[in-house]
Amino acid sequence: MSEYRRGSMVGAILLIGLGILFLYGNLRPGLDPWWLLARYWPLLLVFLGLGKLWDHYRRRTDPDAASKRWLGGGEIAIIVLVVLFGGALSLGRGRMTWSSGKHIHDVQTVDLAGAQSAKVHIEMPAGHLDLSGGASKALEGTFDYYESEGKPTVSHEVVGNQGEVSITQEGPHTHFLRRGGNNWTVHLNKELPTDLKINVGAGQGEFQLGGLSLTGLEINMGAGQVTVDLRGDWKKDLEATIEGGVGQATIRLPDDVGVRVHATSGIGSISASGLEHRDDYYVNSAYGKSPVTLRLNIDKGIGTIDLVSDHSSRHSSDE
């Protein structure tokens, strides 16, 4: 019984600590905790492991230690880590380098002549990524970044009837107490069937994917906030995977297309507006009735998952 309480205390203290860090960041404009967590989030695992080792040692030397102590090693380790993170943010204030080198604005266009389908892979180490449809060619991108972060590289080729596009960036992107200046805006062609894979190390992602001809979707977000808007006209079924380490995921869903979502959050919460919980899934009213189905698997390590159906959004706005 004491082990259950202890595990619950670790999660509660971790959420409270993260909340305090982000509240501090909101009250101190210019301080962004995401960049600190992006580089040093593995310390969470290290400190939790040290806490478990301490608890194990205490139990071996004193079997009654668990009942005597209100805080265990895990709780103490998380408190120390949060204090260290908070001190790093506070001491770094006024010395942070928010930009480095020349600011560059670059526009690139990809034309996959002869391709009947495409695979698009976007690899962004850190920053803000906006993605939507509207490209007249296969892909159109606008890239704002600082010179020291490295130039985003857009490579592409057509093999047979399939085109492949890769967007990557080489350079020192994320530094301790230093925020990058990456802002990418990418537009895809709505008519071209596309298998889309997105990896963002840390930052924010705004993905308006409704109406695109997606044949597959995979999103990996290390630390940060991601909004995935799937409202729109879907002609074919879609299998999608959305994974994240630390942060918040907001998924906007249609109500006229069948939706089935399997969502898990290690430490955090899941909210579902306008959806019904059946067994291990969240489904909308059109699930099993419409000819098209969106099947989503969402996994968040630490943070929140907000599932919002198009019907519930309209209902809220009408009120």
Q: How do residues 64-116 score in pLDDT, each as one tens digit? A: 655 555 555 566 666 666 666 666 555 544 334 444 568 899 999 999 999 99
For 32-42, give one letter per residue: b (16+ CB within 10 A) or e.
bbbbbbbbbbe
Q: What is the pLDDT, as a whole number, of residue 192?
A: 97
113 and 55 share one domain? no
Domain count, the chain: 2
In a domain, 97, yes or no: no
> Is 281 within 8 Å of 252 (Cβ atoms)?
no
Q: What is the pLDDT, as a whole number, of residue 53?
A: 73
User: What range defines the domain where residue 153 resides?
Assistant: 103-318
Please count the residues of the chain.
319
Report the pLDDT averaged over residues 193-206: 94
> Is 221 within 8 Å of 244 (Cβ atoms)?
yes
209 and 288 share one domain? yes
86 and 118 share one domain? no
In a domain, 138, yes or no: yes
Q: What is the pLDDT, as a whole number, of residue 175?
A: 42
Q: How do residues 28-58 score in pLDDT, each as one tens digit? A: 555 556 656 655 666 666 766 776 676 677 7
Which tops the pLDDT comparison, 40 or 257?
257
Q: What is the pLDDT, as a whole number, of residue 275?
A: 95
In a domain, 38, yes or no: yes
81 and 109 share one domain? no
- Would you say residue 256 has pLDDT above 70? yes
In a domain, 198, yes or no: yes
Lowest mean pLDDT among 17-21, 124-128, 275-279, 290-294: 17-21
Q: What is the pLDDT, as a whole number, of residue 62?
A: 67
